[in-house]
Structure 1
Amino acid sequence: MNTLDTSDRFTLIRHGDADGWIEAVAAEMAAELNRDIAEFGRARMLLSGGTTPAPIYQALAELDVQWDRVEVSLVDERWLSPQDRDSNAWLVRESFLTRAEGAHFDPLVRVGKPLPECVYSANLQAQHSQRPCLSVIGMGNDGHTASLFPGSKDLTRALESTLPYAALDATGCPGANQWPLRITLTPHGLKQSRQRLLLLRGKQKLEVLKHALESNNPQLYPILNAIDLDGAKLRVHWCD
């Protein structure tokens, strides 16, 4: 067992294969949602885009949850229309919302509104909504999570923000690809979730996580900002 398995900063769950990984994470998400529905009558969760979580969202939609009592929003979004196939909203809609009939979706980008107004609306929505029972995040090979990219000129401001969401310009950051303008959950926003799940695939991602812990530099490895938060420890679900 290595230092990742014995770390007291998060819980690492290793899965033997992709099918087991998908089934276990979907079941854990459904349990968190049902817990809040039983206690409050409704549940809210924040989802990430990308191809990694898509099969989990598909499996989750098939589980026994009262979807008409579930509100869904995003961890982050590219500055794209929700109808754009490269947006996180489109991914979540295609992999989950079309299957989870009745679930309510709050996109971060509002068509026709400028970026600052979209961020304002996202913060207003977050501050007046039920506390999320869970947030699902990923991690890039550069150590970014959500849209908190190392080297971005807005990173420090986003990390220090006391609001749930911030705008971020990741121009020049390779991980942002051709979409430098973003809306991202801040560490302050992330810690509002009762549970946080980090979904990883492949041995390279474990190496990045190991390097992040060794560096202990949250500017160089923003994933650390999702690990060292108050509340429940981050749960890391990994499979090769």
Structure 2
Amino acid sequence: MNSLENSNRFTFVRHGEADAWIEVVAAEMAQILNHDIAETGRARMLLSGGSTPAPVYQALAELDVQWDRVEVSLVDERWLSPQDSDSNAWLVRENLLKRAEGAHFDPLVRVGKPLPECVYAANLQAQHNQAPSVAVLGMGNDGHTASLFPGSRDLAKALESTLPYAALDATGCPGANQWPLRITLTPRGLRTCRQRLLLLRGKQKLEVLKQALESNNAQLYPILNAIDIDGPKLRIHWCD
């Protein structure tokens, strides 16, 4: 075992191949949701976009979960209509919600509302809903997670926010591509989640994670804000 498996900062699960990675992560998510449904009658989860988690969402939708007792929202979102195929809302809808009949979805972007109003609504909703059972995170090759991009003008403000969600302008950050305006979960919002899963694929992502851990610089590698926070240890699922 290497230092990743031995870390006391997080739990690292290494999978031999992609099918097992998908199956195990989907089963873990279903178990978390079903536990909270049994305990409180409902469950809530926050999902990320991107091609990495999409097959996990497809597999999760096929598992035995009382979807009419599940509320789904997002870790972050580009400043796009939920109907735009480049939005995280669209990806979650296509890969999970169309299969998980009865699940309730709360998008972060509300059509016709300006960005500050959307952030206000997301914070209001987060503060009045039960704590998320699970949040699914990803990580970019620049070390960002959610929409916490290194070098963005709003990063420090978002990291220090006392609210669950914040607006962020990532203009000039390569990882943001052509969508610099974002709504993102903050470290404060992450702390409210009962469990956090980081889904990674490929050797490059593993190297970025190692670089982040060695740097110990949460401004340069915002993924560290998902690792070194209070609550249950982050569970990292990786396969090549």
* TM-score normalised by the chain length of structure 1: 1.00
Give a deviation string over 1:33-57, Cα, whole Å, max 9, x none.
0000000000000000000000000
- Tell me the distance in 1 between the aligned counterparts of 2:156 and 2:186: 10
The reply on whether 1:79 has 2:79 as its aligned counterpart is yes
Alignment-derived partner of residue 99 in structure 1: 99
- 1:5-24 residue pairs with structure 2 within 5 A? 5-24=5-24
Gap runs ≥5 in structure 2: none
- Tell me the distance in 2 between the aligned counterparts of 1:212 and 1:6: 16
Q: Aligned-pair distance for 1:2? A: 1.8
Q: Aligned-pair distance for 1:140? A: 0.3
Q: Aligned-pair distance for 1:92? A: 0.1
- Tell me the distance in 2 between the aligned counterparts of 1:98 and 1:130: 24
- Tell me the distance in 2 between the aligned counterparts of 1:93 and 1:197: 20
Alignment-derived partner of residue 209 in structure 2: 209
Alignment-derived partner of residue 57 in structure 1: 57
Secondary structure of the equivalent of 2:32?
Answer: helix
- Tell me the distance in 2 between the aligned counterparts of 1:229 and 1:238: 21
The reply on whether 1:68 has 2:68 as its aligned counterpart is yes
Gap runs ≥5 in structure 1: none
Identical positions, percent: 84
* TM-score normalised by the chain length of structure 2: 1.00
Q: Aligned letter for 2:150?
A: P
Q: Aligned-pair distance for 1:5? A: 1.6
Q: Aligned letter for 2:42?
A: R
Secondary structure of the equivalent of 2:46?
Answer: strand
Q: Aligned letter for 2:184?
A: T
Q: Aligned-pair distance for 1:239? A: 0.4
Give a deviation string over 1:90-123, Cα, whole Å, max 9, x none.
0000000000000000000000000000000000
Q: Aligned-pair distance for 1:4? A: 1.4
- 1:167-206 residue pairs with structure 2 within 5 A? 167-206=167-206
Alignment-derived partner of residue 150 in structure 2: 150
- When the two structures are aligned, how many residues end up with a matched partner? 240
Spell out structure 1 runs of 4+ moving beyond 3 A: none
Q: Aligned-pair distance for 1:147? A: 0.1
Alignment-derived partner of residue 139 in structure 1: 139
Secondary structure of the equivalent of 1:151?
Answer: coil
Q: Aligned letter for 1:156?
A: A
Q: Aligned letter for 1:108?
A: L
